[in-house]
Amino acid sequence: MWTYIRHMLCGPITIPVLLYFKLLFVIHGKILPRETAKFNPLVWVFVIVDILYNWTVGTILFLEFPKEGLFTPRVQRHYNNGDYQAEVIARIVNEIDPQHIKTK
């Protein structure tokens, strides 16, 4: 039950972050080559958002402070350990960018 409550609490923050991630994926996956992403200021803003998201929402979801700087490596670690939270997150993120989080 607490798992679902944590997801609901984090939803209002997660939705805009996912939409921003989707926008960047469309820009650098469909319009521009992915190699140009490191030169886009929107990507650098997302990196800052990702770090903040990792420290806030990630801490609430995984009930621990991060060991990684960014959210994806943290989810990957938890996914590899069989964490249900990470499986849910991996499915959502991989809908936008297939195999962003490496699944089995």
Stated pTM of the model: 0.88
Helix (H, G, I), strand (E, B), or coil: what is residue 99? coil
Q: How confident is the model at residue 104 (pLDDT cuts 50, 70, 90)?
A: confident
Residue 103 lies in a domain: no
Residue 101 lies in a domain: no
Interval 34-50 mean pLDDT: 88
Distance CA 43, CA 39 (A): 8
Domain that holds residue 70: 2-96
Examine residue 102 and state whether it is found in any structural domain, yes or no: no
Instruction: Say if residues 21 and 46 touch (Cβ distance below 8 Å).
Output: yes
Residue 87 lies in a domain: yes
Domain membership flag for residue 51 = yes
Q: CA distances (Å), 38 to each of 33, 35, 44, 55, in order?
A: 11, 7, 8, 23
Return the number of other C-beta atoms located less than 10 Å from residue 57's C-beta.
19
pLDDT at residue 32, rounded to an integer: 82
Answer yes or no: is pLDDT of 29 > 80: no
Q: Is residue 104 part of a domain?
A: no
Domain count across the chain = 1
Residues 6+ apart with CB under 8 A from 51: 69, 70
Q: How many C-beta neighbours within 10 Å does residue 71 have?
A: 24
